[in-house]
Structure 1
Amino acid sequence: MPALPPLSRRRFLGTAGALGTAAAFGAPTAAGAAQNHVVPIDWGSLGSYPGTDAAGERVTAILAGSSRYLIGPWYAGMYTRYLPDGYIDLRGTDERAIRLPAMAAVAATTALTTGTYDPRTLSAANATIRTRNLIRTLAARHRANNADTATRWGNGWQTALWAYYTALAGWLFWEKLDTTERDHLAAMLAWEADRLTTGNGVHLIGTGGDQLYMTRRDGTVVTPGDSKAEEDNWSAAALSLAAVMMPNHPNAARWTRRNVELLLAAAACPQDLTSNETINGIRLSTWLQGTNIADDGTLQNHARLHPLYMVAFDQSLYQGFVFALANRPAPRAALHNINRTYAALVDKPFPLPGGGTTPIYRENSAEIHYPEGNDWGTHFPFYFGNFDLLVTLTSQDTGIDPPAAQWERLHNEAQLTLMSRFPDGRTYGPTTENTYYGREHRIAAMASQAYLTLFLTRNTTGNRLHWA
């Protein structure tokens, strides 16, 4: 693990240096809070987290390396000029252009604000400027703030997730932003959250929008081989963050309700359709109109039983830290069927090609068994280690053996082994290891949110993760 600077829990580390200066952006003010409904994080009430426990040391090293790589050499190679309006050139409006820098911003803000940033190749001062550049530009280019159809983004299949990443980074970095930047962030997130509240029990958005379920209540498979679990819970993420950041916004109650609905839809299984259980005011048997996972906890994506999308329920569990940053309990709906899905990873046997069986998690190994293959590549230890940690911290491995903490160690040690191959903090070498073009950014975004969950769980004031 690289040597890290001592924890400077609540102080940002300077603003002079690379690609512009802090003076060029203006001094931040507090005036925006009243206009945009955002309640800043009260860091002083949240204690500190030294990160000296074994899991904390692993996640700290992953966050430090991945954020150093992205805000260092990756940023330098991608963003080489300001446009005439003072923003950096994002070089497009698609997923590559928006989601990737948003994930990088989340990692960098987390590292900088918690004192886990590694300045060995780029000072914290210069990293702060670069990070602010990403946040301010992404928010300004959203359609809520930008009428130029050539440069704006938003209102797309995945844009709620991009808004979530950007807004989370901005909230963590709030004291470094000026009034205009703050207002842009709030407008962006509220716009995407409002769009998602127009849905109903079958559609994500209105009666003709994206589906909430792969399989309807009557057994009709609407999207064969393509669970809607991931889309539901990334949309829920934007709604949860909007409701937490802007609790006094006129639409906060609508965002809160829709968040719960999407969390429950994401993890709905056939047994839920006849369940009399009520979660956060919603009776499963009467509200749910379909399912996304099987009763055994597995799900399908890309026309196969897909473990990588089973651990995509990490997005639901991240709601714990989001609400805890505001000293609020997260909705219990975020935990629905997590134990069921985790049991399918650890304990459910699947046939091996040469005979015999194995669970998805191979005994005493970091290797993953993909029962129907993996179309994304060969190396994904942190995708699973991240989920293992979240399951541990939320106690969702009850009755499962071995427990999640043992798997976290195996998977995250394998992740650190991958990172040890490179001096710049990145994880991957050949494209075949992970074919996603945002593979380094995905690692960084997971590491930042895992670290924040650790921070809120194991801080000096006690466990702040609560569910109600």
Structure 2
Amino acid sequence: MIETRPLSRRRFLGTASTIGVAGLLGTATTATALPSHSTRVLPINWSRLGSYPASDPAGSRISAVLAGSARYLIGPWYAATYTRYLPDGYIDLKGTDERAVRLPAMAAVAAATALATGTYDARTLSAANATVRTRNVIRTLSARHGANNADPTTSWGGGWQTALWAYYTALAGWLLWDALDAACRQHLAAMLVWEADRLTTGDGVHLIGRSGEQLYMTRRDGTVVTPGDSKAEEDSWSAAALSLAAVMMPHHRNAGRWKRRNVELLLAAAARPADLGDRRRINGIRLSTWLRGTNIADDGTLQNHNRLHPLYMVSFDQSLYQGFVFGLANRAAPRAALHNIRQTYAALVSKQFPLPDGTTTAIYRAGSPEIYYPEGNDWGTHFPFYFANFDLLVSLTGQDRGIHPPAAEWERLHSDAQLALMSRFTDGRTYGANGENTYYGREHRIGVMAGQSFLTLFLARNSRGNRLRWS
């Protein structure tokens, strides 16, 4: 694919961007009106956030993972995947499924974070050309969403996982807002509003509407609706889209509904049996009267893929990312995002499981980055950064109180193991043999986690003070 003329390098480390959009256009676009006031997006005010040099040990590790992953995804992976523009000026996504939409959206988050925070590694592709490529992904994904595209052969949206894809795309666009033209900005806003509004149609049992997808694995009366398949992950990624919509468009007429539904989904995601009798109110919701079921056990474990699955226990990272989403707008995130995180983390570090030799072990093995999977792992063998990412978030949000060793020690072990995997390659990738991680978006998962981890660090250790706040 022929690249357009490059831009000067951009670094958002406490100074406002002065980059225009003319040099970023992959092809000519048709001018459109700016969004109405109700969908007006409030850009990130980088000048108010200060800077974060990532010179502390955790910052050095996470920034290294992000820099390598972003370099690979927007470099070799992009070049091999997107080889032509279609007649309408957008890159060819080659489909509308998870592989075609989620993967580039995750890559865009990694690249946009690295570019926006000045951590991008330009040794093989300039920051200017990386910005062009990232923008191409953002503008294509948002234009192809059903809110902006009536062609059923190229349209995506309205599916089980599409709120997550919209969240990734919109987050990447928000991070590079100054580099986007009016049409792309309008498409992003329309896409996110459409997905967020869809999520507000559900109730205390159903995710969307009054039937179909459930909020809980187990109902209040003990009925197991989806055996071996916790709804925690789906609830938390759906909440992510709602949180981002509310933060990006606080003046939208539906912003209040998005905020309320966000809290509901956060609480449902981490609901455990003890919560069903708990009369506490969290962000205005009384647990004992609103919750209609549970997704995790009282000990903090959960089931997915018909097993007790540590990889899905750390999927609560999506809830904890709300700290940086709200922090980028200098707002406090809902306390509901922290609900039962400590219990789940304690289950990783402290809960003992029997071994065949009569001894016991925790999921986290003492002094080692090795992970014990009590009922096996159907995704592969190497996932250190999935856990390092969660360790970091737990540490930065103080959800490891009373747990020993603390989360910061586990982050070091798991991040070092991740960096060891990356050291095997020169292009920034993590994985070799498919058996290490069988997910086809395995490199993209590393990138999107690294991007969001780094943004959390950026807010927590900012030169102008910790911006991770919880209401």
TM-score range (shorter-chain normalised) is: over 0.9
Query: 1:314 is aligned with what amino acid?
Result: D
Q: Distance in 2 between matches of 1:385 and 1:295?
A: 24
Q: Which residue of 1 aligns with 2:470?
A: 467
Among candidates 405, 418, 424, match of residue 402 of structure 1 = 405
Corresponding position: 1:168 with 2:164: no
State the partner residue of 1:36.
39
Tell me what 2:339 maps to.
Answer: 336
Q: Deviations over 1:246-281 (max 9, x none)?
A: 000000000000000000000000000000111000
Verify: 1:91 aligned to 2:94, yes or no.
yes
Alignment partner of 2:61 out of 52, 58, 63: 58
2:185 pairs, out of 152, 168, 182, with 182
Separation in 2, partners of 1:31, 1:43: 22
In structure 1, the partner of 2:51 is 48
- CA separation of 1:25/1:453 partners in 2, compared to 1, >3 Å: closer, same or farther? farther
Cα distance in 2 between the residues matched to 1:28 and 1:402:
56
TM-score, normalised on structure 1?
0.96
Structure 2 length normalisation: TM-score?
A: 0.95
Q: Distance in 1 between matches of 2:313 and 2:344?
A: 7
* 382, 385, 388: which one aligns with 1:385: 388
With over 3 angstroms needed to count, the CA separation of the structure-2 counterparts of 1:30 and 1:362, relative to structure 1, is farther
In the other structure, the counterpart of 1:141 is: 144
Kept after mapping to 2: 8 A contact 1:109/1:169:
yes
Contact 2:65/2:450 (CA < 8 Å) preserved in 1?
A: yes
Displacement of 1:102 after TM fit? 0.1
User: Does 2:194 match 1:191?
Assistant: yes
2:230 maps to which of 227, 230, 247? 227
Asked whether the 8 Å contact 2:71–2:121 carries over to 1, the reply is: yes
2:126 aligned partner = 123
Q: 1:28 to 1:144 in 2, by over 3 A?
A: closer
Q: 2:213 aligns with which of 206, 210, 215?
A: 210
- Maintained 8 Å contact 2:19/2:179: no
Partner of 2:77: 74
Q: What's the CA shift string for 1:362-404, capped at 9, x where partnerless? A: 0000000000000000000000000000000000001101000
Distance change in 2, residues 1:98/1:195 (3 Å)? same
Match of 2:312 in 1: 309
CA contact (8 A) 1:13 1:125 kept: no
Amino acid at match of 2:137: L
Structure 1 residues 24-49: Cα deviation after superposition (integer angstroms, max 9, x where no partner): 45799995574732111111110100
Paired residues of 1:14 and 1:128 also in contact (CA < 8 A): no
Which residue, 411, 415, 427 being the options, matches 2:414? 411
Alpha-carbon separation, structure 1, partners of 2:32 and 2:470: 34
Contact 2:21/2:179, CA 8 A, preserved across alignment: no
CA distance in 2, matches of 1:446, 1:286: 34
Matches of 2:468 and 2:32, distance apart in 1: 30
Distance in 2 of aligned mates of 1:137 and 1:164 = 15
Q: Compare 225-234 and 7-16 and name the one that shifted more.
A: 7-16
Q: Deviations over 1:104-162 (max 9, x none)?
A: 00010000011100000001111011000000000000000000000000000000000
Instruction: Pick closer, same or farther for the CA change 1:281–1:402 going to 2, 3 Å.
Output: same
Contact 2:10–2:127 (Cα < 8 Å) also in 1: no
Q: Is the 8 A contact 2:34 2:183 kept in 1?
A: no
Aligned equivalents of 1:30, 1:12: Cα separation in 2: 23
The percentage of counterpart residues that share the same residue type is 74
- Give the AA of the match of 2:353: F
Which amino acid is the alignment partner of residue 171 of structure 2? L
For residue 41 of structure 1, give the secondary structure of its aligned residue in structure 2: coil
The 5-angstrom pairing of residues 285-324 of structure 1 reads 285-324=288-327
Cα deviation digits, residues 63-88 of structure 1 (max 9, x gap) = 00000000000000000000000000
Matched, 1:267 2:270: yes
CA distance in 2, matches of 1:415, 1:424: 15
What letter matches 2:182 in structure 1?
T
Is contact 1:204–1:211 with CA below 8 Å preserved after alignment?
yes
**Aligned alpha-carbon RMSD (Å):** 2.0
Contiguous gaps of at least 5 residues in structure 2: 1-8
Unaligned runs of 5+ in 1: none
Q: Determine which of 352, 366, 370 is the counterpart of 2:369.
A: 366
Q: After TM superposition, give the deviation of residue 352 of structure 1 in Å.
A: 1.4
Query: What is the match of residue 445 of structure 2?
Result: 442
Which range moves more in the overlay, 31-40 or 260-269?
31-40
